[in-house]
């Protein structure tokens, strides 16, 4: 799979590249986070899901391009977009078919684990909560930054730095590779360029 297509899918179902090296089957998410939904009442604001909502992203990597993600239908408890992504918000957080992308409480240091296949385990941690962030689409007052890590082998870890903005959704994603020495090598980034949401004039 080409890197650009991986990032496009990450922007919709976000962070799929963390499991790109594994042939993960469709299965229930297994997580190690506490079962309490405390703080989850505001999670839907960090990924507004409604048919017709759309986000346009700039993808920067070997080849710069733009992609527009639009939610086209709601089916089976998930919102389906035009890039093959499927997202839902439940009492615990924002998730796709295999993982929680954002999970409450929205506090710095909150951690959870997604087992997406027998050979792929993703570790998530909230780095910052309720902080401002800037994108090509503008500035947002309340954002949450999440780091997702997946160890590929003894020397390589894939890292996604994912930023969600309240009332908007996913606004930035930076993919890097961490080598055994601790050095991070940037790979690809995705940044919100514009968006159109129901009851929003943006």
pTM for the model stands at 0.81
Task: Show the tokens assigned to 89.
Answer: 């918000």
Which one, of 1, 136, 4, lies nearest residue 63 by Cα? 4
d(CA 116, CA 30): 8
What is 3-196's CATH number? 2.40.128
The pLDDT tens digits for 74-94 are: 999 999 999 999 999 999 999
Would the CA dihedral through 62, 82, 50, 44 be positive or negative? negative
Position 42 scores a pLDDT of 83
- Give pLDDT < 70 ranges for the chain: 1-41, 61-63, 200-202
Q: What is the pLDDT of residue 181?
A: 78
Q: Which pLDDT value is given to residue 76?
A: 95
Task: Write down the pLDDT at residue 155.
Answer: 86
Domain boundaries, the chain: 3-196
Sequence-distant (6+) residues with CB within 8 A of 111 are 32, 33, 123, 124, 125, 126
- Nearest of 90, 145, 114 to residue 30 by alpha carbon: 114
């Amino acid at each position: 799979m080409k890197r650009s297509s991986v990032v496009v899918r990450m922007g919709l179902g976000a962070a799929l590249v963390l499991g790109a090296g594994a042939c993960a089957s469709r299965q229930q998410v297994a997580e190690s986070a506490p079962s309490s939904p405390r703080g989850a009442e505001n999670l839907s604001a960090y990924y507004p899901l409604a048919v017709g909502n759309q986000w346009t992203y700039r993808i920067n990597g070997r080849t710069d391009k733009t992609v527009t993600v639009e939610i086209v239908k709601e089916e089976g408890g998930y919102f389906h977009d035009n890039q093959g992504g499927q997202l839902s918000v439940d009492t615990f957080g924002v998730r796709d078919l295999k993982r929680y992308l954002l999970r409450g409480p929205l506090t710095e240091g909150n951690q959870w684990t997604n087992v997406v296949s027998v050979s792929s385990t993703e570790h998530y941690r909230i780095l910052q909560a309720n902080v401002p962030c800037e994108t090509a689409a503008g500035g947002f007052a309340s954002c949450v930054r999440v780091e997702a890590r997946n160890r590929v082998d003894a020397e390589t870890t894939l890292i996604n730095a994912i930023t969600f903005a309240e009332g908007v959704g996913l606004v930035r994603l930076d993919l890097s590779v961490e080598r055994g020495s601790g050095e991070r090598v940037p790979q690809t980034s995705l940044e919100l360029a514009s968006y159109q949401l129901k009851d929003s004039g943006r």
